[in-house]
Amino acid sequence: MATRTPYTDVVLVAPATVPYERFSEHSAHHWFAQLLRQLLQQSGLQKAQIDGVCVSSFTLGNDTAVALMQHFQMSPRWLDFLPTGGASGVMALRRAARAVQCGDASIVACLAADTNQRDSFKNTVRSFSRFSLDAVYPYGAAGPNAPFALITDYYMRQYGATREDFGKLCVAQRDNALRNPHALMKKPLSLEQYLEARPIAEPLHLFDCVMPCAGAEGYLVMTRTQAEELGLPYVEILATIERHNAFPEDPVQHRGGWLVDQDEFYAMAGVQPRDIDFLETYDDYPVINVLQFEGLGFCAPGEGAEFIRAHQFTIDGDFPFNTSGGQLSVGQAGAAGGYLGLVQAIRQLTHNAGPTQVADAQLGMVSGFGMINYDRGICTAAALLKRGQA
């Protein structure tokens, strides 16, 4: 395998969130416009200075990333469209960083937004993929609840995890979310409430399932020199990975693509799991958090339950995790859910995370998981990030 070029002198700046709403009658275009405006205001840039754009969305309708540029009267020389769900934030980072590094773009805006009208989610899951159209939706198993119930049940039976284990993660994330002004979940959650919640698709109950909403997340990618000239705090990229359709032979998904690239990931970064100060994972269901703990080397495969029992996951715990509250307590704004952890990590490492700030955070990890297609998620990604030193 060829040695990959490091991400020297390419940085991330200007983390932006358009506050979420449970439902919205606006189009996705509205949410993208609000996000772009916020990025320009935060960075002090003019729209014409952004010459690269990466777009992630499920609800642009008949429009594409190109059409969105026409709406915004932008003329970028580099454009990408990544509708890859929970992996899209890190995938956008990878492509944008290489574009800046190679000179194909100078400043790239990575944008993710989705609306949530009354029928948005139904329409999305109905036509999500060919698998959905042929093998899932006609049988009434629309959406990710059924596949994740299967994955969760398998993991519990195979490795001895309990609902109390998953509940510990959900309760900690809710505690973190109560510090986050953007979170839609505003009430404390106890383990007892988690356990007594109504069933959705056994063994999943209400608080195991992410809540769709409308919102937007984004950030900018540029050179270190540009960030310093603009006076913007920045984050350095130590390493990234992505993998698609890993382990297709597994009859039930119990591992993800991070395992394939784990050694290269840490070797490129020059750090180990024990070195990080916080972890942000994609968390539409608790079991996928556990697969990420294992796949990223925080514990061995099958040892996720023991890892949960040994740690505290609140912002001030010994393993700060999903410090925004994660999607399970903030909400899932479509493809923007795949950017949530990355945007939060940039805030953490620029020490602009407000009440959710981890004390003296210097090194953080973001992990993505996306595109639950019929019976498994088929996209995985991760990034190791470091606080920039001006």
H-helix or E-strand spanning residue 167: helix 163-177
Tell me how far apart the alpha carbons of residues 73 and 68 are, in angstroms, rounded to a whole number. 9
Q: What is the mean pLDDT of the chain?
A: 94
Q: Rounded mean pLDDT of 38-59?
A: 97
Contact 229, 173 (CB under 8 A): no
Q: Rounded mean pLDDT of 34-46?
A: 98
Q: Is the pLDDT of residue 127 over 70?
A: no
Q: Is 162 helix (H, G, I), strand (E, B) or coil?
A: coil
Task: Give pLDDT, residue 292.
Answer: 98
Instruction: Write out the two tokens for 109.
Output: 């805006």
In angstroms, the first-to-last Cα distance of the chain is: 34
**In terms of pTM, does the model score above 0.85?**
yes
Task: Give pLDDT, residue 132.
Answer: 66
If you write DSSP's letter for every residue of 180-211 in order, what string do you get? -TT-S--S---HHHHHHSPEEETTEEGGGS--
Confidence class for position 230, pLDDT limits 50, 70, 90:
very high
Confidence class for position 62, pLDDT limits 50, 70, 90:
confident
Confidence class for position 118, pLDDT limits 50, 70, 90:
low
Q: Is the pLDDT of residue 128 over 80?
A: no
Q: Is the pLDDT of residue 204 over 70?
A: yes
Q: Is the pLDDT of residue 374 over 70?
A: no
Tell me how far apart the alpha carbons of residues 66 and 260 are, in angstroms, rounded to a whole number. 34
H-helix or E-strand spanning residue 52: strand 52-56
Q: Work out the percent of the chain whose per-residue pLDDT is above 90.
A: 86
Confidence class for position 274, pLDDT limits 50, 70, 90:
very high
Query: Hey, what domains does the chain have and what are their CATH numbers?
Result: 10-119+214-230 (3.40.47.10), 142-208+235-387 (3.40.47.10)
Per-residue pLDDT reduced to its tens digit, 306-336:
999 999 999 999 999 999 999 999 999 999 9
Per-residue pLDDT reduced to its tens digit, 281-305:
999 999 999 999 999 999 999 999 9
Task: Give pLDDT, residue 109.
Answer: 98
